[in-house]
Amino acid sequence: MTYPGDQWGASGGQPGYGQQPGYPQQPGYPQQPAYGQQPGYPQQPAYGQQPGYPQQAGYGQQPGSGTPPSGGLPGWGWALIVIAGVLVVALIVWAVWQGFRDGDTDDETAPATTTTSSTEPTSSSTTSTVGTDTADALSLDRTVALTGDPTISFTASGWVDEGVELQQGGQKQTWRAPGGECSFAAYVFEMSAFPSSTDREKSMERYDLVAADSIGILTDVRDAAQPVTSGESIDVLEFAMQRTTTLDEWLLTRTFAGSGHEIILSLVCRSGQIDQERIDDVRSNIVLDVRH
């Protein structure tokens, strides 16, 4: 098969490939296809064709040829679809994790740990139902100044000590019940002193903050006595509330206005798991040391 007009002789008068001047033409050469020509494919231009010649037939469009694709999304379009899919999956996983976390008793957030205001309250929004002896040196109705930070430990058998976590203005230590349905936490904070307020006034401010952070009150606030290592007992506020739809919380709290120290003892259980027997067991295993 010959290539009319495509022989080397067509581009400038040179003799065709295989035709040397003065020699007879070698048999078969004019019938060979050009280098790279496949049988049955459209005619290819001669090997070594320079840019500017017509595009080779039978081959796909090469990148950068200037001809737009015939259809389908471009690469950046598919990239946007993949990114959107990943974001949707991430949101679903986050929502599932949040639901699981709400059902867990390992609530790492302290109960309303907002620092109380230094403004002296004119009255408390909630009134304690039980009075205490004002002659007691650790009565809520006095302004008590501690000489050092309170220390709290928990000795209940089988409960796992999960360690101490530093928080703004203080720290939290947590223990978890053997079955995992409850956890006990002891918070110790140190704030500014309020020498012109009684411990009851500042303790009731803490109660108001905690109550505002809950979704329901289970038992009204009342006075209670908690033993300390010195053999004395200190007055504390006792109350219980519903923290979330799946968690209940029982608390003892006391603010020492004279020195700015504050303690919060918190038992958190799955809804319906807090009863008086469990409360008595927890209280009997609290070791509280205060120095005044």
Boundaries of every domain in the chain: 1-63, 112-289
Is domain 112-289 annotated with CATH 3.40.50.1110?
no
The type of residue at 134 is: T
pLDDT score recorded for residue 214: 93
What residues are paired with 164 via a beta bridge? 173
C-alpha–C-alpha distance, residues 36 and 3, integer Å: 14
pLDDT score recorded for residue 82: 87
**Three-state DSSP class for residue 254:** strand
Binned at pLDDT 50, 70 and 90, residue 86 comes out as confident
Between 213 and 10, the more confident residue is: 213
Highest-confidence segment of 16-30, 102-116, 161-175? 161-175
Q: Which of 63-72, 121-130, 222-231 has the lowest mean pLDDT?
A: 121-130
Within 8 A by CB and 6+ apart from 200, the residues are 124, 128, 140, 141
C-alpha–C-alpha distance, residues 79 and 235, integer Å: 64
Q: Which of 77-91, 209-223, 241-255 has the lowest mean pLDDT?
A: 77-91
Between 4 and 156, the more confident residue is: 156
pLDDT score recorded for residue 77: 81
Which uninterrupted H or E stretch holds 11?
A: none
Q: Per the confidence metrics, is the pTM higher than 0.85?
A: no
pLDDT score recorded for residue 74: 79
Q: Which of 76-85, 115-124, 170-179 has the lowest mean pLDDT?
A: 115-124
Binned at pLDDT 50, 70 and 90, residue 102 comes out as low
Owner of token pair 């379009």: 77
> With DSSP H G I counted as helix, E B as strand and the rest as coil, what are the percentages for the chain, rounded to 5?
20, 25, 55
The type of residue at 119 is: T
C-alpha–C-alpha distance, residues 236 and 156, integer Å: 21
Percentage of the chain with pLDDT > 70?
62
C-alpha–C-alpha distance, residues 164 and 110, integer Å: 13
Owner of token pair 């904070």: 189
Question: What is the average pLDDT score of the chain?
Answer: 75
Which uninterrupted H or E stretch holds 113?
A: none
pLDDT score recorded for residue 262: 97
**For 3-57, how does the pLDDT look when each residue is reduced to its tens digit (9 = 90+)?**
444 443 444 444 444 444 444 444 444 455 545 444 554 455 454 555 544 444 4
**Three-state DSSP class for residue 255:** strand
Highest-confidence segment of 61-65, 151-155, 215-219? 151-155
Within 8 A by CB and 6+ apart from 161, the residues are 154, 173, 174, 175
DSSP output for 152-218: EEE--TT-EEEEEEEETTEEEEEEE-TTSSEEEEEEEEE----TTS-HHHHHHHHHHHHHHTSSEEE
